[in-house]
Amino acid sequence: MKTLLIAVSATALLAAQPAAAADLGATAAALRDKALSDPTAWNVLESLTTEVGARPVGSPAMTQAKDWGVAKLKSLGFENVHVEPFVTGSWLRGAESAELVGAYPRKLAILGLGNSTPTPAGGLEAEIVLYRTYEAFLAAPAAEMKGKIVVVTGRMVRAQDGSGYGAINAQRTRGPAEAAKRGAAAYLLRSLSTDDTRLPHTGTAGPGGIPAAALSTVDAELLEHLADRGQPIRIRLNLQSTYTPKADAWNVVGELKGREKPDEVLVVGGHLDSWDPGTGAIDDGSGVAIATAAAKLAASGAQRPRRTIRVVMWGSEEQGGSGEAYGAAHKAETPAIVVAGESDLGAGHIWSLSVPKNSLSQPAMKAFTAAIAPLKVIVTREAPRFGGSDIEGLIANGAPFVDFNQDASRYFDLHHSADDTLDKVDPAELAQNVAVWTAFLYTVADSDIDFRALAAQEAK
Q: Which residues are catalytic?
A: 317
| DSSP label at residue 145 | G
SS3 content of the chain, % helix, strand, coil (to 5): 40, 25, 35
| DSSP label at residue 231 | -
Cα separation, 230 vs 113, whole angstroms: 29
Instruction: Give the SS3 label for residue 224.
Output: helix
Distance of CA 423 to the CA centre of its chain: 19
Cα separation, 13 vs 19, whole angstroms: 10
Residue 175 carries which side chain, given as an amino acid letter?
G
Neighbours of 19 (CB within 10 A): 9
Pair 149, 187: CB distance under 8 Å: yes
Cα separation, 82 vs 253, whole angstroms: 5
Cα separation, 403 vs 7, whole angstroms: 42
Q: Name the phi and psi angles at 207, rounded to 5.
A: -55, 130
Q: How many Cα atoms are found within 13 Å in the side-chain-facing hemisphere of 38?
A: 25
Cα separation, 181 vs 37, whole angstroms: 54
Neighbours of 140 (CB within 10 A): 14
Neighbours of 196 (CB within 10 A): 11
Neighbours of 181 (CB within 10 A): 13
